Amino acid sequence: MNPAPILVCAHLDERAQRLLRESVPGDQLRFVPRAELRPGHPVLAAAEIAFGNIPGPLLAAAPRLRWMQLESVGFEYYQDPAHQKPGLVITNLKGMFEWPATETALGGLLALARGYTELIPAQAGRRWVELEVRPRTWTLHGRPALVLGAGSIGRRMRLLLEAFECRVQVYARSSPDATVRRPEDLPAAFAASEIVVCCLPKTPATIGLIGRELLRALPPSAVFVNIGRGAVVDEAALVEVMHERRFRGAVVDVTYAEPVPPDHPLWSCPNTIVTQHTGGGYADELLDKARCFLANLNRHRAGQPVQNQVDMARGY
Amino acid sequence: MNPAPILVCAHLDERAQRLLRESVPGDQLRFVPRAELRPGHPVLAAAEIAFGNIPGPLLAAAPRLRWMQLESVGFEYYQDPAHQKPGLVITNLKGMFEWPATETALGGLLALARGYTELIPAQAGRRWVELEVRPRTWTLHGRPALVLGAGSIGRRMRLLLEAFECRVQVYARSSPDATVRRPEDLPAAFAASEIVVCCLPKTPATIGLIGRELLRALPPSAVFVNIGRGAVVDEAALVEVMHERRFRGAVVDVTYAEPVPPDHPLWSCPNTIVTQHTGGGYADELLDKARCFLANLNRHRAGQPVQNQVDMARGY
């Protein structure tokens, strides 16, 4: 009897697909673009293993599925109780975006602090703007900071900010690293911070957590960065507060709608950089996703537990 | 008898001038813009102390001058043997630009690595470019790096790169931190480095040190940053090599001509960010320059040695 097919619906490039084909013998792999999956699809019906984010409503159409390796860190798509599938093991790419996401966050902070948002357009116009830009620059060095989230990205963010001699507070519900644990303590923490970096996942406890009140609590010298999930921030409130020019700037990697529509007010918010969900990216990321799946597949075949199983109840 | 006037020809803003006036009693201070200084100027002829960079050729017209507090770290302007003035103590602002300069260097590295050079113009056009930009991004994490110079900026640069888990070599002639000491070892060090940050001052030993051969030795994954002095790099060679697209990019804070003229080829070099000598800047820098001078003035009046005396022979 042939082994059950492995459904691969992850977005992969040619190199990543080739690696999978070279690493999995026989014809067990079935590449099906996510958009083509629907109830009754034979691969969906037969697969015991999947690599890629099968849409939650389709999980009921995959009766034999035992393990799904996500192509993301986020797994908020599977938290809807209607789509829970008892016995299904879900693993994510925990840790894979630690460096690219923190480097995008830090790059955005430095782009605002060191004037890159003015220098890059000036260069395109061959305009020497030293005397205008230089007095507006500032440094991250030693500023009080607040990191929201203590996952791999939040932890790395804290360490990088500490290299700038920032005093860093950490907000998390249960991590031993946390210095702020209760949402009701966030207004004081925002008011005391000049750098705030949100690295929170989307969970029932984080949706809309950062609203008008918190953003208005920031001091005039503050910069707010969201590298976590768009849903954690009240986007209309962020747009409004940025137009009030109450603090220095914002860096927004994640948004309600991705792509951000051309007529969206975020594009033209003052002192705001929209990084278009490039934060987790790097040239080899699709190859590395395939490597992560293969490493877990080898564990699975050796009878070992697969790594980075997500815990729906805890939300990470 | 009135005390000798103190010549202040430093470029200062209103806050910095007010601080000086409030801190130095009487009418001892004489504010003279540098452009108005010429042989025979009565303040130049009478001053024993100056705050600001008197042009080298005018030092001969300041017979009573005993101490000049520079408004810069660089003091290459005074290395010409023709303008040496025996007995004149020159102090600089050593260390003042450590954080802003390293943050500009790191900000430029991250602007290239994390796609900000594409994301910032795309935002102005409200264009969603995630799928184009994300596969081109990369991270600084863990890359072999080379820092040229072991002054306060070079040392801080090394520490910041180490926070990215980079393995950092340091080129300096005599610092205990140096791992590369001889110019003839630089080609191998360039070939082994993906991040090279030049923090060297302009001295007879550094002028033109980085030419076509060294730049061509860089691997395709490299980025070159010059936050030191323009004269250290052969600018024509840099322009040529950047047009050859041999490596990932360059960040150029210092140039032969400042301002860079509108028709200069640097403006349009591929993958090159020109930061227009904003690297040392920050909002309070002119105030801090005045504070540095006042702290040294207090030492001088208390009979203590002034701090940060430059050593013309050693070049730093």
The reply to whether A21 and A119 lie within a common domain is no
Residue A183: inside a domain: yes
**Does residue B302 have a pLDDT over 70?**
yes
Residues in B closer than 8 angstroms to A276, CB to CB, are 119, 122, 128-130, 133
For A290, left (φ over 0), alpha (ψ -120 to 50), or beta? alpha
The pLDDT tens digits for A20-70 are 999 998 889 999 999 999 999 999 999 999 999 999 999 999 999 999 999
- pLDDT at position A26 is 84
Share of chain B above pLDDT 70, in %: 98
Show the domain range for A73: 6-96+283-301
Report the chain B residue with the minimal C-alpha distance to residue A13: B135
CA distance B226 to B232: 9
Local confidence band at B26 (pLDDT 50, 70, 90 cut-offs):
confident
The reply to whether A132 and A251 lie within a common domain is yes
Residue A310: inside a domain: no
Task: Kindly state the average pLDDT of the residues A133-162.
Answer: 98
Residues in B closer than 8 angstroms to A15, CB to CB, are none
Q: Tell me whether residues A275 and B116 touch, CB distance under 8 A.
A: yes
CA distance B308 to B312: 12
The reply to whether B222 and B270 lie within a common domain is yes
**Does residue B316 have a pLDDT over 70?**
no
The reply to whether B220 and B290 lie within a common domain is no
The reply to whether A79 and A104 lie within a common domain is no
The reply to whether B109 and B151 lie within a common domain is yes
Amino acid identity, residue B284?
A: D
CA distance A292 to A52: 12
- pLDDT at position B39 is 97
Residue A308: inside a domain: no
In this prediction the ipTM stands at 0.95
Residue B314: inside a domain: no
How far off is chain B from A114, nearest CA to CA, in Å?
6
**Does residue A187 have a pLDDT over 60?**
yes
The reply to whether A233 and A123 lie within a common domain is yes
Strand partners for B279: none
**Does residue B315 have a pLDDT over 70?**
no
Give the nearest partner residue to B140 out of A103, A259, A278, using CB atoms. A103
The reply to whether B31 and B160 lie within a common domain is no
CA–CA–CA angle B170, B171, B174 (5° rounding):
110
The pLDDT tens digits for B225-262 are 999 999 999 999 999 999 999 999 999 999 999 999 99
The reply to whether B105 and B252 lie within a common domain is yes
Residues in A closer than 8 angstroms to B130, CB to CB, are 258-259, 276-278
Q: Tell me whether residues B273 and A116 touch, CB distance under 8 A.
A: yes
Residue B107: inside a domain: yes
CA distance B211 to A177: 48
The reply to whether A136 and A125 lie within a common domain is yes
Residue B263: inside a domain: yes
Give the nearest partner residue to B278 out of A103, A107, A134, using CB atoms. A134
Number of domains making up chain A: 2
Q: Tell me whether residues B141 and A99 touch, CB distance under 8 A.
A: yes
Residue B216: inside a domain: yes
Q: Tell me whether residues B260 and A128 touch, CB distance under 8 A.
A: yes
**CATH code for the domain of B195:** 3.40.50.720
Report the chain B residue with the minimal C-alpha distance to residue A278: B134
- Which tokens go with B257? 């001509």
The reply to whether A139 and A247 lie within a common domain is yes
**Does residue A205 have a pLDDT over 80?**
yes
The reply to whether B142 and B121 lie within a common domain is yes
How far off is chain B from A192, nearest CA to CA, in Å?
21
Residues in B closer than 8 angstroms to A275, CB to CB, are 114-116, 119
Residue A238: inside a domain: yes
